[in-house]
Structure 1
Amino acid sequence: MTYRVLALDLDGTLLTRQHQIVPAVCDAIHALRERVEVILVTGRHHTTAQPYYRQLGLQTPIICCNGTYVYDYGRQMVVEADAIPAQAAAQFIALAQAKSHELSLVIYVTEAMVYAQRQPAQYIASLKDWAETCPADYRPKIIAVPSLEQSLAHNIQVWKFVVEGETEKIRAFADQTWIHAHFSAEQSWSNRMDFSWQGNSKGRRLLSLLTARHYSPAELVAIGDNDNDISMIRLAGFGVAMANANDTVKSCADCITPQTNEGRGVLDIIETYF
């Protein structure tokens, strides 16, 4: 089979724990992009994915927030999206901040990520430190606000929520009837879960993009490491799980990389199948 598209997750797949791309992997993608469509498919906001997009020299659209939207950096615009309706977003915030749950929230909105000053998620500190290393002209906006509810009034789109807290509390929150009926919930880290509007997934949005660009899923290699990557791994003609992926992800894949994201991981797949 000739594969014509490579879909790559970022965190835990293309990026190391230090949020860097292994130089040999970067070089291989630079060479590959001349004859294969390389598409980033990430849970990140487009502003926090942009430094890596630029590093790789890509020109393809990027799929962000677990399939919530497609962003075109060249035109600096969203080209396809299913955002969370404002009323549903407000109800979600109220439920998550109830005393019975007491969860930390980060909201991915139109051009920024916002969080409550009084209860910041733990990963925000490291994310802000990383953002400060980015060039000023495309530095991600990570904003502390006194009220998450009030922040909704100043943004056109709500892309997704990141919920952080004790695992049991997050699961109890996700299992509520209203949440389950209106949101797609996917584990993104050991103590974090992403919530996007019902029906959104990496696989669904990737299929739409492939169709628009006249590719078949059979021509696709997709590589990921976490639960939010399962839908695109299953979609692909050749689905790959990283060696550092959990067992659930590995069980859905056609292949497991010999090395993790800290080593040759993605590189071995590029050299073998492209």
Structure 2
Amino acid sequence: MTRIKLIATDVDGTFLNQQRTYNHNRFAAQLNRLSSASIRFVVASGNHLGHLKDVFAPTPQVQTFVAENGGLIVDHNRTLAEAQLPLPVVREVVQAILADQTLRPQLLRLSGAHGTYLNRQDRSLDEASQDYFFNNLVRVDDLTQVNDTIYKINGEWPNDSIQTIAAKLNAHFPGLINATASGFGSIDIVAPHMNKAVGLTQLAATWHITPAEIAAFGDNDNDREMLAHVGLGVAMRNGTDSVKEVADLITPHDNNHEGVLDVIDTILADQG
């Protein structure tokens, strides 16, 4: 195995189990071993930064995040890079989606630097999950009037339709966006050149780490580019077929049985 210098992981469906937690003690011990082996640990997620910090609060050694599907890169509270959707594009996409019954979701959210915005009258298909994922909700009368740095548009559709809807969105706005299914009935819409692979590569370059020296874990379509791009792409046993197709390895165990932590142990053993 090529010398691994960086491990990156998706969060939901990958690092976290169905109870949205992880083995804090085991992972904290691994972080110490990773540090001793000069292997960096990075969270690469479609979620917004505040939520990710909450998730990893039990293990405060985790301080590096590729959030918003690569749109925001933060290391020890320092922003290294951000890729925003221009506000004219945001407004064009929002207006078109809401006007087209074949594309219209249950609700839309705009993930920005100062909040996650949604229309005042909209209600999530799963209010409990929305409360979990978004700790910075701001309700507004009109999404097209939001004035903030926007990293991502996020929408809720029936879970069995998200791959089809994502493809329709990309065809509808060629060169303007990158829409990708992120699981759980959710689609993330980011800048056209942006995905987790791009963001992770930008971050790794600041540490003089090449893609071949990265191991990455994921379970869904928005992890596909990242797993295909790195030296060791690891798909979860519970992951989608499209992610497994590009992976170098599939975890022996799923996210409910510490599949990521098991492979991290293997990487540490192989690195000596």
Unmatched 5+ stretches in structure 1: 132-139
C-alpha distance in 2, partners of 1:45/1:86?
18
Corresponding residue SS for 2:57:
helix
Contact between 1:22 and 1:262, CA under 8 Å: does it hold in 2? Answer: no
C-alpha distance in 2, partners of 1:37/1:169?
33
Aligned residue type for 2:66: I
1:225-250: CA deviations, max 9, x gaps?
11111111112111100111011111
1:184-217: CA deviations, max 9, x gaps?
1111115221110101010011111111111122
C-alpha distance in 2, partners of 1:193/1:129?
17
1:102 alignment partner in structure 2: 104
Compare 264-273 and 26-35 and name the one that shifted more.
Answer: 26-35
C-alpha distance in 2, partners of 1:130/1:43?
11
Task: Work out the percentage of aligned pairs sharing the same amino acid.
Answer: 25
The answer on 1:66 being equivalent to 2:69 is yes
Aligned residue type for 1:146: D
In structure 2, relative to structure 1, the CA distance for the partners of 1:112 and 1:73 (3 Å cut) is: farther
Aligned residue type for 1:96: I
TM-superposed deviation, 1:253:
0.7
C-alpha distance in 2, partners of 1:129/1:189?
15
C-alpha distance in 2, partners of 1:61/1:173?
28
The answer on 1:142 being equivalent to 2:134 is no
Alignment of 1:236-255 (within 5 A): 236-255=230-249
Question: Normalising by the residue count of structure 1, what TM-score does the alignment of the two structures yield?
Answer: 0.87
2:155 alignment partner in structure 1: 163
Aligned residue type for 2:30: I
TM-superposed deviation, 1:56:
2.4
Contact between 1:96 and 1:173, CA under 8 Å: does it hold in 2? Answer: no
1:135 alignment partner in structure 2: none
Aligned residue type for 2:206: A
C-alpha distance in 2, partners of 1:64/1:130?
13
CA RMSD of aligned residues (A): 2.2
Question: Normalising by the residue count of structure 2, what TM-score does the alignment of the two structures yield?
Answer: 0.87
TM-superposed deviation, 1:53:
3.4
The answer on 1:12 being equivalent to 2:9 is no
TM-superposed deviation, 1:82:
1.3
Aligned residue type for 1:125: A
Contact between 1:105 and 1:115, CA under 8 Å: does it hold in 2? Answer: yes
Aligned residue type for 1:109: G
Contact between 2:216 and 2:234, CA under 8 Å: does it hold in 1? Answer: yes
